[in-house]
Amino acid sequence: MPHIRISDVFKTYPPQRRGGDPVAAVEDVSLEIERGDVFGVIGYSGAGKSTLVRLINGLEPVTSGSIEIDGVDVAQLPERKLREVRQGIGMIFQRFNLLRSRNIRRNVAYPLEVAGMPRQQRAARVAELLDFVGLADKADAYPEQLSGGQQQRVGIARALAAEPGILLADEATSALDPETTDEVLDLLARVNRELGVTIVVITHEMDVITRIANKVAIMERGRVVEQGPTYDVFTAPRTDTAKRFVRTVVRALPEGEALAALRAQHDGRFFTISFTDSGASEARVFAALARAGVDFNLVHGGVDDIQGRVYGLLTIAVRGDEAAVRSALAGVGAGVTVTEVAL
């Protein structure tokens, strides 16, 4: 049974102005999130990601369809039961949402106070949580004395206080610089690995997805337009939106003026060679071309690491024909594709 099953979900808001159209924020979305997944949902602003989060944690009801957590349809639950389900879902936010007037220890303790945990037990749990996120020495500090990355780690400690099975991260690294983004993503990966928490990561940054999500769904105008294991979606994007996101992280072929500049520098026809980790590597591709006597220059590209797996995208200029390139690469391994770059 999936940990979270989203089936045929629609969410429509009433028209924003008199005589306007209703807003279809989420349309016909179905997703299965397994226990232990780090499931990424990526899309541009307005795609419906935050709405989906509010539906998953039961903050808003679906218009139609169902959301099941551990096989239980949350829409059918009475308020008291729904509150229990919500307690099993931790949440972190782009702006951290810490209480400024409370020190770090009391921020992390807050949900435990609300849940009525006795003081001593609470203190022990908070100490354990701060230790886990590496901020034991900041217990008495106030949020404004901490860096953004540290504040988000406090947010994570607070979200984990009630030992949730699910953590929803809504643009959790969008307000952070690259270095602190790393620190927060590393911590989320540990939360998943060491505590077995299922994580749903909402983002508009492909880099976040390739770093920690094992599966991804791409949303556009309320709909999921592509989904699957991150590596598969990444190495073989089908929709324009997916291709655009992939292009933000791989060293894909430049277009327009950059491409024209490369053509001016290099003779011959341009081919893009892509390969997955099923046997091929940059060295094997180059060796095969050289062995076959293909006269080539690498003009662009490189190899990317997606969750520890290799994906290569190389553009070469060749003096010779396409048949020679293809036959040279025929024996290199499965998953090698050769495409001529359109003029």
Ligand X SMILES: Nc1ncnc2c1ncn2[C@@H]1O[C@H](COP(=O)(O)OP(=O)(O)OP(=O)(O)O)[C@@H](O)[C@H]1O
- Applying CB under 6 A, which residues contact ligand X? 13, 23, 25, 43, 45-51
Q: Which C-beta is closer to ligand X: that of 51 or that of 151?
A: 51
Q: Which C-beta is closer to ligand X: that of 147 or that of 239?
A: 239
Q: Residue 113: in which H helix or E strand, if any?
A: helix 104-114
Phi-psi region of 4 (alpha: psi -120 to 50; beta: other; left: phi over 0): beta
Q: Residue 52: in which H helix or E strand, if any?
A: helix 49-56
Whole-number minimum distance, CB 77 to ligand X, in Å? 22
Q: Which C-beta is closer to ligand X: that of 203 or that of 276?
A: 203
Q: Which C-beta is closer to ligand X: that of 93 or that of 270?
A: 93
CA pair distance 176, 179, nearest whole angstrom: 8
Instruction: State both tokens at 199.
Output: 């994580």
Q: Which C-beta is closer to ligand X: that of 43 or that of 155?
A: 43
Q: Which C-beta is closer to ligand X: that of 51 or that of 107?
A: 51
CA pair distance 309, 4, nearest whole angstrom: 27
Whole-number minimum distance, CB 14 to ligand X, in Å? 7
Tokens 């591709």 map to which residue?
A: 285
**Under a CB-based contact definition with an 8 Å cutoff, are residues 313 and 237 in contact?**
no
**Under a CB-based contact definition with an 8 Å cutoff, are residues 104 and 141 in contact?**
yes
Whole-number minimum distance, CB 47 to ligand X, in Å? 4
CA pair distance 293, 291, nearest whole angstrom: 5
CA pair distance 185, 176, nearest whole angstrom: 11
Helix orientation angle between 322-329 and 282-291, rounded to the nearest 10 degrees: 120
CA pair distance 22, 53, nearest whole angstrom: 20
Whole-number minimum distance, CB 43 to ligand X, in Å? 5
Instruction: State both tokens at 279.
Output: 């046997």
Whole-number minimum distance, CB 23 to ligand X, in Å? 4
CA pair distance 106, 340, nearest whole angstrom: 60
Whole-number minimum distance, CB 55 to ligand X, in Å? 10
Q: Which C-beta is closer to ligand X: that of 22 or that of 196?
A: 22
Whole-number minimum distance, CB 204 to ligand X, in Å? 6
